[in-house]
Amino acid sequence: MLFSQAKVTAVGSYVPGRRLTNDDLSKSVETNDEWIQRRTGMKERRIAEDVQFTSDLAIKAVESMIETFSLEIQTIDMIIVATSTSDFVFPSVASQIQNYFGISQCGSMDLSAACAGFTYALNVANGLVSTNQCKKALVVGAETMSKVVDYQDRTTCVLFGDGAGVALVEREEINPSFVHASYGTRGDAGRYLYVSNIANNIEGEGIKKEKKIVQNGREVFKLAVSSLSNTIPPFLKEADYGVGDVDWFVPHSANMRIIHAICDRINMNEDKVLFSGEYYGNTSSASIPLSLTEAYQLGKLQRGDLILLSGFGGGFVYSHCLLRWSI
């Protein structure tokens, strides 16, 4: 069992107003609505404006949380942002959030774990709060994936969208939210999903598209399904639970084919799945907090529910976080 003296006390989210539908995509690449929905479960995705960046989306998500929960932002003393599409190499998105809200005496850092970023960041926040290194940690998953998508590549452009989600993690000694956590890495598989930056050569993959998403969909599908289906049952067992004990399963919303396959292999009831990809697309590190916030707003999540978060993505990395819902 995980050591924890922390709980999730608030959530929020934001998506840009511009919609990109399947029919819109069919006008620029060889695809159609029926194919996209059957292969991914997606109908549309939200796209940031040209002058709108990851920090802008993250700030809007934080503002939505502040408004919903009437929070005093100045009491936050750590900001952790999970993102693969930061505005700059540095300064970090986290420091931009700190500056925007004028939060004093606050640490800040960005965390890079691609689509598993939010689960990694939540677990880091639990560790920091539980060991008294901070009292309140703002955990953000935010992405503008549209800025690294090649819209001439129909294998990737149908998948990705933009958005941001946030959670507040606070000190709680009696009834903590965090039950268990685990991590995994397959660094040898990094060549199957990446965005080039300073280097533009990954061994064995031929010509690269600099600063654009490159994905081998077949290999990513196999990696995601095998990694999660092989690790979720033992992960739950370590925490003295089974698949049937989980009230809600919140995997990264990569696409529904991956999630269907995982649920089938671990015997998870698909009615328990929270999926944000239908109208927002694959928002990478933002997909899990978008799912959580939407479910909270709809009244699906009840205090005491056991929630399994599972992130997976480029690296290749994955992470699980088992929560007892506390909002």
Active site residues: 115, 252, 282
Residue type, 46: R
Contact 136, 79 (CB under 8 A): no
DSSP secondary structure, 259-272, as one string: HHHHHHHHT--GGG
Percent of the chain as helix, strand, coil, to the nearest 5:
40, 25, 35
Q: Determine how β-strand 78-82 pairs with β-strand 107-111.
A: parallel
CB atoms within 10 A of CB 75: 13
Query: Measuring CA to CA, which residue among 169, 145, 166 is closest to residue 60?
Result: 166
Contacts 24+ apart (CB under 8 A), 218-226: 219/189, 219/192, 220/192, 220/193, 220/254, 220/316, 221/257, 221/258, 221/261, 223/186, 223/189, 223/192, 223/312, 223/316, 224/254, 224/258, 224/262, 224/312, 224/318, 225/258, 225/261, 225/262, 225/265
For residue 61, the Cα-to-chain-centroid distance in whole angstroms is: 14
Contact 232, 291 (CB under 8 A): no
| Phi (first) and psi of residue 236, to 5 degrees | -65, -40
Establish how many alpha carbons lie within 13 A of residue 319's alpha carbon, considering only the half-sphere containing its beta carbon.
21
CA–CA distance, 75 with 170 (Å, rounded to integer): 10
